[in-house]
C-alpha cells in the first residue's frame, strides 16, 4: 500500500510536465504562425516594390545604353555659354528664423554666380528681427539683394512666403525690368556658379528646369546626413531622369530649379503661383506645370568634360535623428497623404503619371511592410530559440521560391544604391551605404507616426505652419 501511494506524486508530476510541454508546443506553433504571416506579408510587399524598382532600373539602363550608342555631343557646364543678352533671373530665398545661415549663404551666392543679370529676393517675417538684421546688412553692401518683409507674422508656410516674394517682384518689374525666370533656393543652399547660365539657355524651351540636389555629409553627424546622400544620389541620378524620359509630370525639389515667369503667372491664383495650403508646394507646382501643358527638364550636366560630378545644389541636410524624422514626416504628409487628397491621380488615361504618383505615395505602405518584416524576423528568431530548447525542427516560414526572389531583388537594390553613391561620393561612402539602409528604415518607421498625427490634425482643421529644421551653412566652401 505504501509503495502504491508513492507512485501517485510521480504520476501527477508527469501529467503536469505533459501539460506544460503541450502548452509550450502550442505557444511555439502560434509563434511560428505569426512569424510566417508577418514574413509572407512583408515578402509580398518586397516582391511588388522590388519589381517596381527593377522596372525603373531597366528603363534607366536602357536609356543610358541608347544615349551611349548614339554617341551624340556630351555637354558640360562650359557649353552653356553666356548669352549676348542674358535674361533677368530673380532668386527667391524664403527665410524664417535663418539668422544663423542667411548672411554666409548670400555672401557665397553673390561671390559664386558668374552671371550678370540677376537679383536676390529674401522673404522674412516682421517678428524675426535677427533674420531681418542679417539680410539688411548684406543688402546695404550689394544692391542685387532685396529684403521683402511679409505682412503676417511667422511662421506661416513656405508657400506663403514665396507668394510674398512673387508680389514684390511683380511690383518692381516696372522699374527693374521684366523677369525671365524665378529661381528657388533655401537659406542653407550652396549654389553652383554655372546654374544661372544653364537656366538662361533652357527657360523658354521649357517651363521649368531642375538641377540635381546633392546633400553634403555633415562632419558632426555623418551617419544620419549620409542617408540623404545615398537617397538623393540615386533618385536624382536615376529616378527623375527616368520620369522625365517617360513623359510623366516631374515634381520640383524646391531648390536649384528655375521657373518660367509667364508660366508661373498662368498657373498661379490670386495670391500667387505657390499654394499656401500645401506642405510640399514645390512637388505640387511641378505637377501643376505639367497639367497646364508646360514641360519640365531635369538637367544632369557634368561640371567639366569627363567628370561624374554634376552641376548641382549642395547643402547640409538634417544630421540628427529627431530633425530627420521631422523632415521625413513632412514629406510623407505633403506627398503621400495630403498630396493624394489634393492632387488625385490626374488624367484617367495617363498611366505614366499614375505609375509615378503611385511610387510617390507608397512610402507609408512601405513602412508598414518594413514593420512587418522586422516583426517577422523577431518572432522567427524567438521561435528558433524555442524550437532549439524543445529539440524540435522549426518549420519553413517562407516558400523557397519567394525567399530567393525577394533576396535577389534586395541584393540588386543594394548594388544599385552602392553604385550611385560611389559615383558621387566615392567608394568608401558607397560601401557604407549598405548598413545605412537600416538607418534609413529606422527613420522612416519613426516618421510615419508623426506623419499620421500631422495628417489627422490637418483633417481636423489645424492650421498649417512652417515645420522647418535648424540649418547650417557649409562654411569654407564659398
- The pLDDT, as a whole number, for residue 11 is 47
pLDDT value for 334: 87
The sheet with strand 118-124 has its strands ordered as 145-149, 118-124, 89-94, 181-184, 257-260, 208-210, 296-298
For cell 495628417, what's the residue?
Answer: 455
- Give the burial class of 275: count Cβ atoms within 10 A of its Cβ; 0-12 exposed, 13-18 middle, 19 or more buried: buried
For residue 207, what are the contacts with CB-CB under 8 A and spacing of at least 6? 259, 260, 263, 289, 292, 294, 295, 296
Q: What whole-number distance in Å separates Cα of residue 228 and Cα of residue 475? A: 20
369-399: burial string, b at 16+ Cβ within 10 Å, e else = bbbbbbbbeebbebbeebbeeeeeebeebbe
Contact criterion met (CB below 8 Å) for 311 and 195: yes
Whether 156 and 275 have beta carbons less than 8 Å apart is answered as no
pLDDT 10s per residue in the chain (478 long)? Answer: 455 555 555 544 444 454 555 776 788 888 889 999 999 999 999 999 999 999 999 999 999 898 888 766 678 999 999 999 999 999 999 999 999 999 999 999 999 999 999 999 999 999 999 999 999 999 999 999 999 999 999 889 899 999 999 999 999 999 999 999 999 999 999 999 999 999 999 999 999 999 999 999 999 999 999 999 999 999 998 999 999 999 898 999 999 999 999 999 998 877 899 988 888 889 999 999 998 889 999 999 999 888 888 999 999 999 999 999 999 999 998 898 888 888 888 888 889 999 999 999 998 899 999 999 999 999 999 989 988 888 888 888 899 999 999 999 999 999 999 999 999 999 999 999 999 999 999 999 999 989 998 888 888 878 777 777 778 898 755 4
What pLDDT sits at residue 21? 58
Residue 476's pLDDT is 59
Three-state DSSP state, 443: helix
**Sign of the alpha-carbon torsion through 33, 36, 42, 47:** negative
| pLDDT at res. 1 | 47
Hey, which residues does 302 pair with through a beta bridge?
Answer: 310
- Structure confidence at residue 12 (pLDDT): 44
pLDDT score, position 19: 54
Q: Give the 3-state secondary structure of residue 147.
A: strand
Nearest Cα to Cα of residue 227 among 31, 452, 478, 421: 421
Please name which of 49, 58, 31, 60 lies closest in space to residue 441, comparing C-alpha atoms.
49
Amino acid at each position: 500500500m505504501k509503495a502504491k501511494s508513492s507512485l501517485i506524486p510521480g504520476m501527477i508530476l508527469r501529467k503536469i510536465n505533459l501539460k506544460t510541454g503541450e502548452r509550450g508546443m502550442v505557444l511555439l506553433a502560434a509563434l511560428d504562425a505569426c512569424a510566417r504571416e508577418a514574413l509572407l506579408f512583408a515578402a509580398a510587399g518586397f516582391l511588388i516594390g522590388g519589381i517596381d524598382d527593377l522596372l525603373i532600373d531597366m528603363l534607366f539602363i536602357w536609356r543610358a545604353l541608347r544615349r551611349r550608342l548614339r554617341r551624340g555631343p556630351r555637354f558640360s557646364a562650359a557649353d552653356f555659354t553666356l548669352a549676348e543678352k542674358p535674361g533677368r533671373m530673380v532668386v527667391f530665398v524664403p527665410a524664417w528664423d535663418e539668422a544663423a545661415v542667411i548672411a554666409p549663404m548670400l555672401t557665397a551666392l553673390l561671390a559664386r554666380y558668374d552671371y550678370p543679370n540677376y537679383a536676390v529676393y529674401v522673404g522674412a517675417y516682421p517678428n524675426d528681427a535677427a533674420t531681418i538684421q542679417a539680410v539688411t546688412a548684406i543688402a546695404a553692401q550689394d544692391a542685387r539683394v532685396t529684403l521683402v518683409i511679409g505682412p503676417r507674422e511667422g511662421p506661416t508656410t513656405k508657400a506663403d512666403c514665396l507668394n510674398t516674394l512673387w508680389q514684390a517682384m511683380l511690383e518692381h518689374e516696372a522699374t527693374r525690368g521684366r523677369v525671365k525666370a524665378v529661381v528657388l533656393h533655401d537659406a542653407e543652399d550652396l549654389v553652383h556658379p554655372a546654374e544661372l547660365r544653364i537656366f538662361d539657355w533652357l527657360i523658354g524651351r521649357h517651363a521649368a528646369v531642375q538641377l540635381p540636389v546633392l546633400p553634403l555629409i555633415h562632419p558632426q553627424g555623418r551617419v544620419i546626413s549620409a542617408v540623404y546622400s545615398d537617397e538623393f544620389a540615386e533618385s536624382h541620378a536615376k529616378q527623375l531622369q527616368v520620369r522625365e524620359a517617360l513623359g510623366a509630370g516631374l515634381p520640383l525639389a524646391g531648390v536649384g530649379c528655375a521657373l518660367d515667369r509667364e508660366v508661373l503667372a498662368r498657373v498661379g491664383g490670386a495670391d500667387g503661383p505657390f499654394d499656401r495650403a500645401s506642405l510640399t508646394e514645390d512637388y505640387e507646382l511641378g505637377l501643376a506645370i505639367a497639367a497646364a501643358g508646360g514641360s519640365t527638364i531635369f538637367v544632369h550636366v557634368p561640371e567639366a568634360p569627363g567628370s561624374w560630378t554634376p552641376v548641382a545644389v549642395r547643402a547640409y541636410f538634417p544630421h540628427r535623428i529627431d530633425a530627420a524624422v521631422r523632415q521625413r514626416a513632412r514629406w510623407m504628409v505633403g506627398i503621400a497623404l495630403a498630396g493624394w487628397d489634393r492632387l488625385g491621380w490626374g488624367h484617367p488615361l495617363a498611366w505614366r503619371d499614375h505609375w509615378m504618383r503611385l511610387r510617390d505615395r507608397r512610402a507609408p505602405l512601405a513602412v508598414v511592410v518594413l514593420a512587418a518584416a522586422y516583426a517577422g524576423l523577431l518572432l522567427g528568431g524567438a521561435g528558433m530559440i524555442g524550437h532549439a530548447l524543445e529539440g524540435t525542427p522549426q518549420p519553413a516560414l517562407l516558400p523557397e521560391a519567394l525567399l530567393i526572389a525577394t533576396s535577389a531583388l534586395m541584393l540588386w537594390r543594394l548594388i544599385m544604391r552602392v553604385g550611385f553613391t560611389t559615383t558621387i561620393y566615392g567608394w568608401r561612402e558607397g560601401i557604407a551605404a549598405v548598413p545605412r539602409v537600416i538607418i534609413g528604415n529606422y527613420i522612416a518607421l519613426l516618421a510615419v507616426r508623426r506623419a499620421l498625427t500631422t495628417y489627422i490634425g490637418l483633417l481636423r482643421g489645424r492650421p498649417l505652419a512652417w515645420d522647418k529644421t535648424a540649418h547650417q551653412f557649409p562654411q569654407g566652401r564659398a
